Structure 1
Amino acid sequence: MILRKSLIIPLLAATWLSAVPAVMAQDPAPAAPGATATAQTAAPISHPLTRDDVELMVDGFLPYALKRGDIAGAVVTVVKDGQILFAKGYGVADRETNEPVDPDKHLFRPGSISKLFTWIAVMQQVEAGRIDLDADINQYLDFKIPNSWPEPITMRHVMTHTAGFAETVRDLIVRGQDHPLELEKLLSRWVPERSYKPGTVPAYSNYATALAGLIVQRVSGEKFEDYIDKHILAPANMKHSSMAQPLPAHLAPLMSKGYASSREPAQDFEIVNHAPAGSLTASGADMGRFMIALLNQGEGPGGRILKPESLAQMWKPQYRPLPGQELAMGLGFYEQNRNGYRIMGHGGDTTLFHSDLAMWLDEGVGLYISFNSTGDDMSRGPIRNELHRMFADRYFPAKAAPEPAEAEPVTRKVPVGGTFYMSRRAEGTLVSMINLFGQGDLITNEDGTATFTLFRDYAGIPKRWREVAPDRWQEVGTDSLMHTKTDENGRVTGITTDDYPAIFIAQPVPASINKGWNLLALGIAMAIALFAVIWWPVAALVRRRYGRPHPLTGQHLLADRLVRGSALMMVGCLTGFALVMTLAIDPLMFGEIDLVLRLLQLAGLLGVLGLLPAGWRAWKLWTDPAAGWWARIRASLMILVFAYFLYFVEQFHLISFALDY
């Protein structure tokens, strides 16, 4: 649900994928690489799914992986045939006391897996006749979602992440706050931009999920966290779980500490303001009980949670970003299918905890993994994915070994290419500056394969893909799949992969913010502005050294100083925003640096105003026959610098009255 720091640097290189929020917590974990994998040679051997065998497998992998990934503790739970088959803690829940993780006792934060509880609550209200999945959600709210499109947003759109909202960051997760913000006030205070027509583009949204929770609260007449406790946690016998923030007194002592890494001190309990999107706290054993209730057709030990037909509807494919894509989005759950087995689940991240839940629906088996540390940016996602892959391939390998098929060459009108960014992104706010750095290139290689630089392997190397059928690509050396959409002119207009859930699509970047020319223009503008700023004191020192007066006087001297001062403001504004977007994502999300943002915006405004003295000075020089050509060129260059800066500020919304993002 969050946007992690890894979302900003390589998700500056893989914007908002999932190792990413760097800016947005509650990012769902990606599906295991090769999610649709099938055997390519001899049929693999299936191992018996027993407690001893699971323990042997996990013990042989996870302790080393946690140490290598700088993660303090983890919990793994496996359910089978209506029972908890395996539940075990690894590492420590508290570094100061070295208390080992206990799956029955210690509470972790499952992040966006909390959304499944919200979606179940919605379906309970559908069963009660209080919510219509295909009705305008505005009828359930006492504030209005603006009609940016003729088509209304429905609950079905919300549950498939196709409502069309831009990403939100501010106040998503905070630490050191006693209670979450009041949900209705939070959501009505600012409605994010509606970037897409409902039902057309997947864009994972914490805001939309929070709206669903608010609607449950309104139509049921019960406070959201109380509703979840009474209607889901209690029937599932989840006695060590709660959506309440802070935790109830009887659960608070059981909370595992959360860490940025296993070497750093524990951090404060995270408050998820968009509570329905990620506020759950639960033990590993309780998450096992949750999976058991779902796999038991919605029947928990304390009563029915959902009717079987409601669960079947949630698990039915509802939306695929591109035709032919293997993985689909259900109602809230997303597919993680592998080896021909039907797998539904969800992943989740807070700023400290990182989790994944997967259920083999037809086999009655579930797997839950959760870490209490972020660790290094390159490990938490791969460790979860690899454990999922190992589990799937060991106990549910491909049922048959298909004969390798010769792929016929695919002829294209033009080689694939272009620059793309993810549909889950910020729009209309200052955080949209990240979009400039989160673009990826689709490249045709000399051997006929293609590379999309946002789809990378565990080593951070872009994968190579070969087109095996029109718009269907297979990774070289594996059976991972990438899908494209091609227009009538042969140009690619959309990219997805079955390595990730069906909650985003890569879209062509418009020319106005394309990195190809913007980064070049930005670099040139910054270089010229820096030269103007640095030459200012250097020239003054030279004049002082040789006792020479300033060559300019009066209005020309004032204009020159204003231009250089504005150039300094411009450099400070751009440098400051770049540092914020790369190094201060958590404070940005927590709303802790408003003063810094306002100072950067003031610097930006003063920088933009440099156009006025720059324009005046250039006009004077060009109309003065005695003026030298070098002076005229310098003055004209400064006009271009400030004009581009104005364009940049406008395109990426760096200056605004409200600090909503």
Structure 2
Amino acid sequence: MFKKSLIVMLSALLLLTGSIPAFAAEQGSGGAGGATPSGIPLIGLEAFVDNYVKEYIGKQTVGASVVMVKDGQVVLSKGYGYADVEQQIPVTPDTVMEWGSISKLAVWASAMQLAEQGKLDLNQDVRKLLPENFLTKLAYDEPITMLNLMNHNAGFEEYMFDMAYQSPEKVRSLEEGLKLAQPAQIYRPGEVVAYSNYGNSLAAYIVERISGQPYHEYVQQHIFEPLGMKHSMAYSVVEDRPELLEHKAKGYFFAGPGSFNQGSWNYMSMYPNGGNNGTAEDLAKFAMAFMPAAGEQSPLFRKSGTLDTMLTRSHSAAEDMPGIAHGFWEYPGVHRTLGHGGNTIAFATNLMLVPEDRFAVVIMTNQAGESHIVHGLTKAVVGQRAKTEAAVLPDVSEVEGRFVAARRPGHGFMKLFPYLTMMKLEPQGADQLKVSLAGMSGSYQQVQPYLYEKTGGDSGLDAWPMLYAKVSEGKVEAVSVYTSDYLPLTPGRSMPVLLLSAALAGLAIVYFVIAPFVWLVQALLGKRKARRNRLAPRTANRKLTAGLTLTGTGLVVNNLVLALRMLSNNERAYAEVYPQIIVNIALTGLAALLIAALLLTLMKRRSPSVSPARNHWPAIVPMVMISILLAQLVFWEFYS
């Protein structure tokens, strides 16, 4: 018996030993079932992720939920950090978070379902599917198609108001939200990619009209239920689902190493573009639906061709530049990678899937703008495609310059803000480009003519792994990044014009901030010598000049407060800032009246013993300064 047992043990050992090299080879090559696309063995995946996130959790990132799937199976599902810092409640697989813009993928999947059924033509003018005169701010006669909406090139400006609220009471119906926050069309359809929340919600409204169901009910019935997504909802008012509300994480802002301030949840009338709530595991089920096994059908579609079409590229700035696949964004992974990121007021998320490997990664964090894990960990597991450097490359200096986002307001005072965060491109060596944006910078290497790949720098720019400069006759027409185009400055907004505008605005602001204190000091000190009294403006002049100065100060204070409010939280209803617009109009009217009265007074009263300039300068200076200030308010449309 002992001899027989020994033979069995030795045989088993030989078999095991023989299988080890094959298993190791499978792991090292990233073979099916063995590794992530970047080559991390699944057997060591949890340890790798644990080690990766420990550098950030509790220091730079408050909490994260990470799920990875391979070949239709969850290979990692784990929470890190806290869902509630104050109550020390950890993130778990049951933690509900906000999807952000990943929600858009449900809209595009819904549209593809209706197209499959013959109820929607992706190339049809969507105006035929909307109520009469629904879109009232179009500038071009060319049709806007569902494909335009999917490719974010319908031409809409970025309307900054009434997109998100901080309380559920302000949420209206989808139709009302679309009417309230309708943007103007500032580009010809198909010409410029400008990421559009409005366009996505408009597509969801079309789904609503075709299906005869509220959009969130359609998604629940045709997407979430078939996929078994029991812990998610396609709506922003999570209070409607108490069982989800109980597990929803609080959102936070980074306030310094190891310090986080609580933010608010996201409530939206145009909820389809970013209002979904749910667990990371549910989102992973959604991802798996786009990667069925060979010979199997996606539970989302009735025909295999529908999924194939959806995952096919529908737009790209250049052949080797990652583009758009019917609403999915391409990513330059080891293999073709598709996905979408998301941000709400206080959450940041990412979803990437690799159909060739049947691999997907879902990362959800309860922190505004988190990038270290959301983008960094994603890049670590999906990898990056091999560089294919060209033999002859154009000089990097050809693309040097400053560019403004195509995704920007075209009207109103918010049109100023994109010019405060312009993209700056400058040479950095023979084939390197330094990209600067909003306080971040990154190094990009030219790998093909005018095609650049990120090689280092701030993790916040990991959302833009590549950029492409479209050059014609030696001039850059557009710089395409992951989700939008950046355009050259127009003559009316060239750098000299912008610098002059900034200098004049700064001069006027400084004057009207200091002038009232100077007047106050003069009044308190009572320096009124006889000769000065004779040269000073008469009493009426002095009162009018003081009134004009205080009016200018009021305009400065009102608009500085307006700017600070928008910078601190740009997710506001227009009704919140409208009173300040009215104040601008009222103070401008008052300033016009005071200037007219001062001019009449100066024309009637002159001192013959002194030159007019010397006699009138105390009144002329504030008139000049307020004229400069008003010109800047008109230039940047601070009246609308």
TM-score by length of 2: 0.82
User: Counterpart of 2:250?
Assistant: 257
Structure 2 match to 1:333: 328
Say whether residues 1:323 and 2:321 are aligned partners. Answer: no
Question: Counterparts in 2 of 1:498-577, with a 5 A limit?
Answer: 501-512=482-493, 514=495, 515-543=498-526, 549=533, 551-553=536-538, 555-577=540-562
- Distance in structure 2 (CA, Å) of the matches to 1:590 and 1:87: 41
Do the aligned residues in 1 keep the contact of 2:159 with 2:182 (CA within 8 Å)?
no
* Cα distance in 2 between the residues matched to 1:604 and 1:63: 55
Query: Is 1:641 the equivalent of 2:619?
Result: no
Kept in 2: contact 1:80–1:366 (CA 8 A): yes
Aligned 8 A contact 2:298 2:304 in 1: no
8 Å Cα contact 2:100-2:349 kept in structure 1? yes
1:481 offset after TM fit, Å? 4.3
1:71-115 per-residue CA deviation (whole Å, 9 max, x = no partner) reads 1x2111111111112111112333344333221x22111111010
Distance in 2 (CA, whole Å) between partners of 1:145 and 1:467 is 42
Q: Matched residue of 2:183: which SS?
A: coil
The separation in 2 between residues aligned to 1:352 and 1:467, in whole angstroms, is 35
Describe the shift of the 1:415–1:161 C-alpha distance in structure 2 as closer, same or farther (beyond 3 A): closer
Equivalent residue number for residue 90 of structure 1 = 80
Find the aligned partners of 1:533 and 1:299 in 2 and give their Cα distance: 78
Counterparts of 1:435-446 in structure 2, within 5 Å, are 435-444=418-427
Structure 1 contact 345–358 (Cα < 8 Å) conserved:
yes
- AA aligned opposite 2:174: L
User: CA shift at 1:529, angstroms?
Assistant: 3.5
Provide closer, same or farther for how the CA distance between residues 312 and 447 of structure 1 changes in structure 2, counting only shifts above 3 A: closer
1:534 Cα deviation from its structure 2 partner:
3.4
Tell me, in whole angstroms, the C-alpha distance in 1 between the residues paired with 2:605 and 2:563: 35
Which residue of structure 1 aligns with residue 190 of structure 2?
Answer: 199
Residues 481-513 of structure 1 deviation map (CA, whole Å, 9 limit, x = unaligned) = 43222332x23232234xxx2433343244347
Deviation by residue 1:107-152 (Cα, 9 ceiling, x = unmatched): 1111110100011111111122222211221111114213310212
The offset of 1:428, in angstroms, is 0.8
8 Å Cα contact 2:511/2:625 also seen in 1: yes
1:135 matches 2:119: no
Cα separation, partners in 2 of 1:483 and 1:216, compared to 1, 3 Å:
same
Aligned position for 2:18: none
Verify: 1:183 aligned to 2:179, yes or no.
Answer: no
Q: Verify: 1:344 aligned to 2:338, yes or no.
A: yes
Counterpart check, 1:471 vs 2:450: yes
| Distance of 2:338 and 2:269 partners within structure 1 | 27
CA distance in structure 1 between the partners assigned to 2:148 and 2:184 by the alignment:
16
Task: Kindly indicate whether the alpha-carbon contact (under 8 Å) linking 2:227 and 2:286 is maintained by their aligned counterparts in 1.
Answer: yes
In 1, Cα distance between the equivalents of 2:591 and 2:405? 31
Structure 1 residues 452, 75: CA separation in 2 closer, same or farther (over 3 Å shift)? closer
Q: CA RMSD in A?
A: 3.5
How many Å separate the matches in 1 of 2:627 and 2:57? 51
Distance across 2 between alignment mates of 1:299 and 1:289: 19
- The 5 Å alignment of 1:368-387 reads 368-374=362-368, 380-387=370-377
Q: 1:369 to 1:480 in 2, by over 3 A?
A: closer
Match of 2:21 in 1: none
Counterparts of 1:109 and 1:344 in 2: how far apart (Å)?
20
Alignment equivalent of 1:220, drawn from 199, 211, 220? 211
- Once residues 420 and 321 of structure 2 are traced to their aligned partners in structure 1, the CA distance between those partners, rounded to angstroms, is 29
Q: Which runs of 5+ in 1 are unaligned?
A: 1-43, 657-661
**Contact map agreement 2:59 2:259 (CA 8 A) in 1:** no
* Percent of paired sites with the same residue: 24
Structure-2 residue corresponding to 1:41: none
Aligned to 1:115: 104
- Residue in 2 that maps onto 1:367: 361
Give the aligned partner of residue 5 of structure 2: none
Cα distance change of structure 1 residues 157 and 288 upon mapping to structure 2, 3 Å threshold: same
**Cα distance in 1, alignment partners of residues 117 and 510 from structure 2:** 64
Gap change, CA 1:327 and 1:601, over 3 Å in 2: farther
Question: d(CA) in 2 for partners of 1:477 and 1:96?
Answer: 35
Provide the secondary structure at the position in 2 that maps to 1:250: helix
Secondary structure, counterpart of 2:161 in structure 1: coil
Q: Whose radius of gyration is greater, 1 or 2? A: 2
Q: Is the alpha carbon distance of 1:407 and 1:635 closer, same or farther for their aligned partners in structure 2, counting shifts above 3 Å?
A: farther
The 8 Å contact of residues 298 and 308 in structure 1, kept in 2 or not, is answered as no
Helix, strand or coil: the match of 2:375?
A: helix
**Aligned 8 A contact 2:551 2:591 in 1:** yes
1:427 equivalenced with 2:410 (yes/no): yes
Task: Tell me the distance in 1 between the aligned counterparts of 2:111 and 2:286.
Answer: 17
Greater relative contact order (CA < 8 Å, ≥ 6 in sequence): 1
Is this contact kept in 2: 1:464–1:475, CA < 8 A? Answer: yes
- CA shift for structure 1 position 349: 1.0
Name the structure where helix makes up a greater proportion of residues.
2
1:144 pairs with one of 134, 152, 155: 134
- Aligned counterparts of 2:353 and 2:492: Cα–Cα separation in 1: 42
Amino acid at match of 1:319: H
Aligned to 2:636: 652
CA distance in 2, matches of 1:300, 1:401: 34
Does the 8 A contact of 2:393 with 2:449 survive in 1? no
Counterpart-to-counterpart distance in 1, 2:183 and 2:259:
37
Q: How many residues are aligned here? A: 589
* 2:556 counterpart letter in structure 1: V
Which amino acid is the alignment partner of residue 111 of structure 1?
G
Instruction: Mark the runs of 5 or more structure 2 residues left unpaired by the alignment.
Output: 1-26, 36-40, 458-463
